Structures are given as C-alpha cells and as structure tokens.
Amino acid sequence: MFAYFILSWICVFVFILCLKFRRPKNFPPGPTPLPILGNLLNLSVDNPMRDLERLRKSYGNVYSLFIGPKPIVVINGVQALKEAMLTKGVDFAGRPQDILVTHLTENGLVLADYGPSWKEQRHFAVMTLWNFGLGTESMEQRILRELHFTMETLEKSIGSTMNPQFLFSNLASNIISLIVFGKRYSCEDQFFKEVVRCFTENSKLSNGPWAMLYDSTPIIRNLPLPFMKGFKNMETLKKLIAGVITEHRETIVPGKPRDILDCYLDELEKSDSDDSSFSEDKLVMLILDLMFAGTDTSANTLLSGFLYLSTLPQLQEQCQQEIDRVLGNKDHASYDDRHNMPFTLAVIHEVQRTANTVPFSVHHLTTKDTKLMGYSLPKGTVVIPNMKSVLNEEGQWKSPHEFNPENFLNDEGEFVQPEAFMPFCAGPRMCPGERLAQMNFFFIIVTLLRKFKFIWPEDAGEPDYTPVMGVTLSPHPYRIKVQLRTTQ
C-alpha cells in the first residue's frame, strides 16, 4: 500500500513537470524537453552555434528550446530579425532579468529592462557620446593620440614575432578610458590590471556551465559555487570605479566636462526630481558597461582583422595601395577619407561580418504578448537572435561562408552595405557605441597598415579561423611578424 502511495505521488510529480514543459498554444516548435533539464542536452558548451544551426534545419527560422523549465525562442535569418528588432522593436525590447549576467551587472545600461529608466540612461549615453565629439575632429584626435603609443610598441617588435592580443586589448581599453575618464592607463597600472582581471574572469563565468546552472536552477544560487567569484569581482570593480568618481568630484569644473564621467556628474547636480534615474550607482554600472563592451568586442574584432590581413597578404597590399593613394602626403587620415577608400572600408566591414564577435547579440525579452512570423509569443518570453544566421545567410551575400570584401562592393567597385549587415543588432536595443566602434576600426586599420606590414610567420603553420567561444567570440591565440613598409 505504501509503495502504491509513493508511486502515485511520483506519477503526479512527473505529470506536473510535464505540464511545466509544455509549449503554449501556437508557440514556435522545437525538440522535446526532458523534465528538469529541458533541452540542455541538445546544446554543447564548446560549440552552441553548431547546435543552433542544426536545430534551425530541423525546426525553421523561429524555434524554441527549454533551458531548465524556461522556454526561450531562437530567431534566425534577416526576415525574422527585421520583424522582431525593427518592425516590432518595442515588443522585443526587454531584457531577461533572472539570469547570472544580469545579476552580476545589476541592470547596467546594456542589460537593464525596457522602461523609462533605461530610456533616460540610454539617451544620456548616446547624446553624450555624440556631443562629446563622436564623429568630430576631437574624437579623431583622441583615437590617433592613443594609436601613437600602439605604433611605438610595434616599432619595438619590428623583425620579431608577437602575440597582438594584449596590444589590441590595451588599445581598445585606453580609447574607452580617454572618453570615459579623460586619461589613459599604462599596462602596469594597478587599477588597469585589476579591471582587466575582473572582466576576464567574469567573461569566462558568464558563458560557462556554471552560468547555465545558475540560470536554470535557482535553488543553487546561494551555495558557495564558482559563480560566487563573479559577484566578488563586481564588488572589486565597483570600489575601483567609486574611487575614480571621488577623484573627479574633487577636480571637476562645473559646465566644463572633461569626459563622460564629468558629464554624468553635471547631470546628477541638475537632477533634483524624484523621477530621475540618475544616481551614483547607475553611473558606476554605466561606466563598467561602456568599458567592457567597448574593450572586449573591439579588441576581438581587431584580432580577427589582423589574422585575415596577415594570412591574406594580397588583400593587405590592396588596402595599403588605396590608403597611400588617398592620403598622399597627409600626416594622418580623417574620418571623411573613408568615402574615398571603398576597398579598405569593405575589408573592415567584412572583418566585422566574419568575426561575428557577439554571436547571440544580447538576449531580448518580449514586453507584451506579440507575434513573430505567425507564432504567438507571450509577454516575458526570452528571445535569442542568432547573428550567425544573418551574417552568413545564403542569398544575402556573394560569398556567405568565406572572407571576401566583394560582399560589400558593387560591380563598379563602390562600397555598399547589405541589409543583412547587423553586427550591432538593430532596433531600440541596437548597440549605442556602433559609430564609435566604426571610427575605431577605420583609424586603427588605416593608420597601422599605412606604416607597417603584418606577416604570417613561416613556422606558424596553417592559420585557424575557428573562433573561441566566450561572452564574445575571439580567434585562437596567434603570432604575427611586424615590418616597416618600404614606403616609410
């Protein structure tokens, strides 16, 4: 009798679990989930992009998975992404709040949910970047000034091989530091080293198996498991940034901002409304968002770019010929020069397309009951854009699966940008730093190619273009040889 009672309760428990894992009516199709695990076994930690592509072939451009008991929807292809991010942008403008990376960042600008507070903070970030010099000679000079230090480092490496990873991380980080803090940091600076350490460790945590367990199994979140290291790192980062804010408060001249931090402090002084979202806590998280997003993605894109340039020397030489022709005897490039460099511009955009640095964008959340490609998505549905499906979509590109600048050139050799070029996503949650990133890539690649030649070492073997998974994608570590160009 007792055994029968236990068996009955087990059956009821399994039945309840099965109900929790049922897809709502007219919900996108997908593989059958297992109780408790959902579809976790359908995904591998080392190469989820391959698994998502396999599922796309089975279930179409819009399908669903269960991560634990939570259903998520994966969207693929230009048509589905345009409908979600542009046509119905506000419907898909939310962010999931109950996951590790959101808890770590405490709803910073990138991961804050859609609403008045996020709108106010984003408006400040976009307008301050623009008013502070984005697209003007002021911003150009900041980038070129930092490039001077990079070229000094490269000159010391002439004739030898080097790993460019730290070089580009330092370059990208200091360009952001100049904009945010008004100063640069040497690689030996203790503040800089500690920030890099915390970012690196949290980046690995946020994309690893412990993050997946944290997201799918809330009961374990207070246990002393490895993800707790992420929260300790965030406390360290907040203390470091709080120290910089204190320094700025002591030296700020009202109405004469030196950097974004000063601009925010000015805004704090003006914001006496109870409805204002401006606070010192929000300032700390905004700074951390700008630093992480601006450093990691830019550095990894540059690493991919110089991997291709060094292993495809004919493309490098063609860029250099165009750069020499356009710049002539000018001391340096200006951003307007890009209009006369269609091939170089095509190479830069092709690097971004093939690098696909943020392969799943940042997860979205439906803000209300909505429809996508005929399917019904309830409010609060987590949505993952598969950017690889867009940046490599058949029919959208001349050469979708290989590195080819012709993807961005028409028959007359003029630069064109296909609608499928969405490395910064699209719509209301499009990356606010897109224009700054484009400026960085242009000045860095043009300036370095004008002076140096980058060579794949003879003893380095065949290059490996397969990306390494993380919060962002990066190339496998590699070494390149640096030479001064004979024209210099």
Residue 361 is part of a domain; what is its CATH number? Answer: 1.10.630.10
Per-chain mean pLDDT for the chain = 88
Q: Can you give the pLDDT at residue 136?
A: 55
Question: What 3-state DSSP class applies to 6?
Answer: helix
- Would 230 be classed as within a structural domain? yes
- Does the pLDDT at position 295 exceed 90? no
- Would 443 be classed as within a structural domain? yes
**When comparing pLDDT for 257 and 308, which is higher?**
308
Question: What 3-state DSSP class applies to 270?
Answer: helix
- What are 335-394's pLDDT values in tens digits? 999 999 999 999 999 999 999 988 888 899 999 999 999 999 999 999 999 999 999 999
- What are 384-431's pLDDT values in tens digits? 999 999 999 999 999 999 999 999 999 999 999 999 999 998 999 998
CA distance 171 to 189: 14
- What are 39-67's pLDDT values in tens digits? 888 877 667 788 888 999 999 999 999 98
Amino acid at site 31: P
- Would 6 be classed as within a structural domain? no
CA angle 201, 284, 297 (to 5 degrees): 45
Q: Can you give the pLDDT at residue 16?
A: 42
Model confidence at 17, pLDDT cuts 50, 70, 90, reads: very low
Phi, psi angles (nearest 5°) of residue 384: -115, 115
Residue 117 parent element (H or E): helix 116-131
Model confidence at 488, pLDDT cuts 50, 70, 90, reads: low
- Would 311 be classed as within a structural domain? yes
Could you tell me if 303 and 168 are in contact, meaning their C-beta atoms sit under 8 angstroms apart?
A: yes
- What are 211-223's pLDDT values in tens digits? 878 887 888 999 9
- What are 106-121's pLDDT values in tens digits? 768 888 999 999 999 9
Q: Can you give the pLDDT at residue 134?
A: 58
Question: What 3-state DSSP class applies to 459?
Answer: helix
pTM of the model: 0.90
**When comparing pLDDT for 46 and 148, which is higher?**
148
- Would 11 be classed as within a structural domain? no
For residue 139 the two structure tokens come to 């911003």
Q: Can you give the pLDDT at residue 8?
A: 42
Residue 263 parent element (H or E): helix 260-270
- Would 409 be classed as within a structural domain? yes
Q: Can you give the pLDDT at residue 20?
A: 52
Beta bridge partners of 364: 383
For residue 476 the two structure tokens come to 């496998």
- Would 317 be classed as within a structural domain? yes
Look up the domain containing 171 and give its range.
18-484
Q: Can you give the pLDDT at residue 11?
A: 40
- Would 1 be classed as within a structural domain? no
- What are 227-262's pLDDT values in tens digits? 999 999 999 999 999 999 999 999 988 878 888 899
Count of domains observed in the chain: 1
- Does the pLDDT at position 22 exceed 80? no
- Does the pLDDT at position 9 exceed 50? no
